[in-house]
Chains A and B, each alone.
Chain A
Amino acid sequence: MINQEDGGVKMDESDLKLIRLTQDGIELVPNPFKEIADELGISEAEVIDRIDSLIERGIIRRFGASIGHRTLGIVANAMCAWNVPDERTEEVGAVMAGFDEVSHCYERVRYPEWDYNLYTMIHARTREECEHVAREISRATVISDYTILFSEREFKKTGVRI
């Protein structure tokens, strides 16, 4: 069991092992869950049931492929930080989330020296396209105080691991 005292949901030792055995990717073989089942000493069907249950309980957001955007030519990624009045955050966040080019949209803590509270990740093939999307978002939301932070170097990119 991990961190239930911190409000985590119930997960037993097999769930945790199952996540650890699959988080770096399953094998590309006809029965990818068989080996995991053997490792855990449970049946293949139980492995699959457990994954379904982890998804149902929200511990796994989804089970599927993670894509290397850069390899796909989606090389420009811009983090756009927006200064949105608190009373408009809900409405503006929903509009931003509606853009296909926006993969993530979060409200984050703001600071006096960094007065932005909404963040969108914009993905496109070029920087110009990212800038264009940001202008579209600005026009749609009537929020003009924003900054585009392109990634200049990728120091690290992995999935979240436990």
Chain B
Amino acid sequence: MIDKLDEVDRRLINTIQLDFPLNSRPFLALGDQIGISETDVIDHLKRLTDVGIIRKIGPIINTAMIGGSSTLIAMRVSDDVIDEVAARINEFDEVSHNYLRPGSYNMWFTVSARSEERLREMVREIDALGCPFLELPVERMFKIGVRFEV
């Protein structure tokens, strides 16, 4: 897929992850930066969105700043119920990522709740699923992913 990107695609992707112009005509501004029309920018971005390279253009929210509470949970789920448990976990809007990984704890998911209270409530519901799990909240951040160069 990455091989099918043209130079405009690459420049757009590399630019708009961090420096999306915040003005009334952002796609015109982007076009001016790379020397193409507003319509061309929109067409490129639509195509990149259609194929899933761009998921969305919007705000990346810092839940901690709005009183939210986040954690990573590592859960031990047996193979025969893995789909069922994944479906239950995914039902929570607060779960943003959920992956199957090898090892003694095999289901790894991130939770971003609107409050500590809501997080505790979710943890109780997760506990009721009956699978052993570890709560792994962040103690210190060294790097938060921001941008991928293509």
Contact = CB atoms under 8 A, between A and B. Distances in A.
Interface string A137-159: 00000000001011111111111
B128 interface: no
B100 A107 contact: no
A141 B148 CA distance: 24
B63 to A, nearest CB: 6
Interface in A72-122: 72-74, 79, 89, 93-94, 96-97, 102-109, 111, 113-114, 117, 119, 121
Given A60-B60, A73-B2, A97-B143, A109 B137 contact: yes
Contacts of B62: 58-61
Interface residues of A, number: 82
Contacts of A153: 99-100
Given A149-B103, A158-B97, A162-B68, 6 more contacts: A8-B65, A51-B22, A67-B148, A153-B100, A154-B99, A162-B63
Interface of A: 2-9, 11, 19, 22-26, 28-34, 44-45, 48, 51-52, 54, 57-74, 79, 89, 93-94, 96-97, 102-109, 111, 113-114, 117, 119, 121, 123, 147, 149-162
11 contacts: A28-B42, A30-B25, A61-B146, A64-B20, A65-B20, A68-B53, A72-B148, A103-B148, A147-B103, A155-B86, A155-B90
